[in-house]
Amino acid sequence: MRDGANNPRKFRKWPHYTISLRTTFGKKPLSFLKAYNYKNLLFMKSKKIWANFGVSDLDRTTKFYQQLGFKQNGASEQLTSFFFGERDFIIHFFLEDVLTSGMKGTVADTKAGNEIIFTLSADTKEEVDNWAKEVRQAGGTIVSEPEAFGAGYYGFVFADPDGHRFNVFQM
């Protein structure tokens, strides 16, 4: 019997059992699967997630994020990459034509709208205000000035030189 390494859709090895998914789903009730943590059979597990943005100028992007204090993950002729947050979330900034080719589609026009907005956390209002100052000095655009909103929220929105938007929030 095979353990699923060569055909993960057909077989999955469990302690003391090897189960054929076709047989299990075709002939056994769902209650049988509950005993074997059926979620592991049905859902993909991802070890990492990162973001890919398109940019027009790698040098400008690199300088902007370095000036804000982000740790560089690497660079090449096609991209520059940075770590964000304590858990090192990665954002790759690809040249727009490279990203368009790899996506097999168009890159969002950041001047016309947002493709996504990431939120960076701050511990205090003063830290939020310092972020705003540093973003301006690095050449970013403040989309909305730091302000209080909702119950216990303080923050602002900025755009990098290519228009990618970020929130900085103290919650």
The domain ranges of the chain are 11-42, 50-170
For the range 103-111, what are the long-range contacts, defined as Cβ-Cβ under 8 Å and sequence gap of 24 or more? 107/54, 110/159, 110/162, 110/163, 110/164, 110/165, 111/163
Say what the pLDDT of residue 4 is.
46
**What is the reported pLDDT for 17?**
38
Give 3's DSSP letter. Answer: -
- Alpha carbons 126 and 170: distance in angstroms, whole number: 9
The reported pLDDT for the residue numbered 39 is 55
CATH class assigned to 50-170: alpha beta
- Given this model, what pLDDT does residue 47 score? 81
Nearest to 65 by CA among 77, 83, 48, 85: 83
**DSSP conformation class of 7:** -
pLDDT at 6 (0 to 100): 47
What pLDDT was estimated at residue 149?
A: 87
What is the chain's pLDDT, residue by residue, as a tens digit (171 residues)?
Answer: 334 444 444 444 434 333 444 444 454 444 544 555 555 555 667 788 899 999 999 999 999 999 999 999 999 999 999 999 999 999 999 999 999 999 898 888 888 888 899 999 999 999 999 999 999 999 999 999 999 988 889 999 999 999 999 999 998
The pTM (predicted TM-score) of the whole model is 0.71
User: Token pair 């090895």 is at which residue?
Assistant: 13
CB atoms within 10 A of CB 114: 13
Cα–Cα distance for residue pair 101/103, rounded to 1 Å: 6
pLDDT at 115: 84
User: How would DSSP label each residue in 112-169?
Assistant: T--S-EEEEEESSHHHHHHHHHHHHHHT-EEEEEEEEETTTEEEEEEE-TT--EEEEE
